[in-house]
A and B are shown apart, each in its own frame.
Chain A
Amino acid sequence: MELLDSSVDLQEVQKLEGHADRVWGLAWNPAPHNCGGASAMLASCSGDKTLRIWQMGPTHHLDCSTILEDTHTRTVRSCAWSPCGKFLATASFDSTTAIWKYVGGDFECVATLEGHENEVKSVTWSSSGTFLATCSRDKTVWIWEVQPGDEYDCVAVLQGHSQDVKMVQWHPLVDVLVSVSYDNSIKVWAEDGDSDDWHCVQTLNEGSSGHTSTVWSVAFNSSGDRMVTSSDDLTLKIWDTSSAISQTDTEGFASWRHICTLSGYHGRTIFSAHWSSEGVIASGAGDDALCLFVEEKGNSVEEPSYRLLLKKEKAHDMDINSVRWNPKDQRILASASDDGTIKIWELREIS
């Protein structure tokens, strides 16, 4: 179903309040039926040091069902669900990453990953469920392997970025990791064979048509052949990552390349970007606005291009830190802001 810009609107359907400080991150449970059968489950993490879990009840509204507190001693900066939906990882400024397990209606902290020297900025679970990755202001990226019995082994500590690493994200299909940093670069990490030997296979920086300021976020499309990054340089960049799927050796990842730059849509740092399973890119920025972009289906001979589908000014009262599409309902978008609220939006076609 093609989305034409004149016939769509982003409607606010719910506002979730409760956090006592800015909301930093959001994560939709990819398999909520494994957690007591809710039709939707959203985790949110905040400067108030807690993580909240919101569940969709019979009223089709999200209600706060759990507050995970008294574990992290500082801001919880990022959260991520395991592919099976039963585990949740929370990354905190207190330099630890906690792993929570859904046990009989509640979440229990079953492990704490320590090792970073200071604030952990992001955590991501590989789609194979085998690996977790974290990154920190200490400039390193850590890769952990999930072991039986809720144990986590540190597999590698990767150095390469020269500054604070803002976010890490696993490729949706293969165990390839991307990290983005205050040093303006995007790095791609892969394992050589099966030997715990992870190294940087590609760096996308200014010379590769990359960003000219801090890169804040990275997201893949569902087929894994495209990646979007957002930056303090006020642009979003789309990258061709198709070689990750077509080639099995590490050389394949060295050929990711820039396709398109979207500029002029946000007047402030773009903190987050996310790709829906339908191919709509959502972005949230320091200008309090939300933008949606789709691929321009035109001349297949030329380089793919993307166009603005719509812009929602003043989507929040303050900076938008995170935008996330619901993987189970591709027209539902959640946004989190410095204003302490989370908003749920529905992309509707207007007749």
Chain B
Amino acid sequence: MDPKSNNLNDFLEESVLLDESQYQEGFKDGYKDGLVSGKEEGREVGLNAGFQVGEELGFYQGCVDVWNSAMQIDPDAFTSRVRKNIAQLKTLIDAFPLLEPENENVQEMMDSIRLKFRVVCANLRVRLEYEGQPNSLNKDSEDM
């Protein structure tokens, strides 16, 4: 056994071990902080997304409520086709799983609601929108 080489190895081993343990400590600290910060960010993103969905659905619900009130005052205010569409819209809104954001059908259900809303608006000859309303279209360039 070479005492000199042993010393050399021990010397290096200490730095390597120190390096390792510092890394572990740093990682633990970073993970802890990241978890907290990630949760915060996640909560914020969730809040925004939830707000957007709630706002859009609330808008449609509000319109339906006004239309239903109008019909109570004057049952002949709208044609039977419009009445049927408003009723269908209400059913779709009621069926929307607000508390299940992970439900894989939510996009499809929202699309159906949006389409039904457009049919009602077209028949009432109105254009109803609110600021910040999500648009299903991209701003792509005009083609022929």
Q: Which residues of A contact B (CB under 8 A)?
A: 93, 113-115, 117-119, 137-138, 140, 142, 153-157, 159, 164, 182, 196
Asked whether A138 lies within 8 Å of B123 as measured between CB atoms, the reply is no
Cβ < 8 Å to A, chain B residues 23-46: none
Cross-chain contact A159 with B142 (CB below 8 angstroms): no
User: Does B4 belong to the interface (CB within 8 Å)?
Assistant: no
18 residue pairs bridging A and B, Cβ less than 8 Å apart = A93-B142, A113-B122, A114-B127, A115-B122, A118-B137, A119-B142, A137-B142, A140-B115, A142-B122, A153-B79, A153-B123, A154-B122, A154-B123, A157-B118, A159-B111, A164-B143, A182-B143, A196-B84
Across the interface, do B118 and A115 meet the contact criterion of CB distance under 8 Å? yes
Shortest Cβ distance from residue B133 to the other chain A in the assembled complex, whole angstroms: 12
Q: Besides A113-B122, A196-B81, 10 other CB < 8 A contacts?
A: A114-B125, A118-B137, A137-B143, A138-B137, A153-B79, A153-B123, A156-B119, A157-B118, A159-B115, A182-B143
| 8 Å CB interface, B42-86 against A | 79, 81, 84
Closest residue of A by beta carbon distance from B111 = A159
Which one of B84, B135, B137, B143 has the greatest number of beta carbons of chain A within 10 Å?
B143
By beta carbon, the residue of chain B nearest A196 is: B81
Q: How large is the interface on B (under 10, 10 to 19, 20 to 34, 35 or more residues)?
A: 10 to 19
Are A157 and B111 in contact, CB atoms less than 8 angstroms apart? no
Interfacial chain A residues near B123, Cβ < 8 Å:
153-154
Compute how far the CA of A164 lies from the CA of B142 in the bound complex, rounded to whole angstroms: 10
Min CB–CB distance A281 → chain B (angstroms): 23
- Does the CB pair B81–A153 fall under 8 Å? yes
Q: In this assembly, does B16 line the interface, its C-beta being within 8 Å of a C-beta of chain A?
A: no
B79 adjacent to A117 (CB under 8 Å): no
Task: Kindly list chain B residues whose C-beta atoms are within 8 Å of the C-beta of A119.
Answer: 142
Residues of B within 8 Å of A159, CB to CB, are 111, 115
Identify the closest chain A residue to B116 (Cβ).
Answer: A157
Q: How far is the CA of A138 from the CA of B137 in the complex (A)?
A: 7
In the complex, what residues of B have CB within 8 A of residue A142's CB? Answer: 122
CB distance from A247 to the nearest CB of B (A): 28
A159 CB to closest chain B CB (Å) equals 6
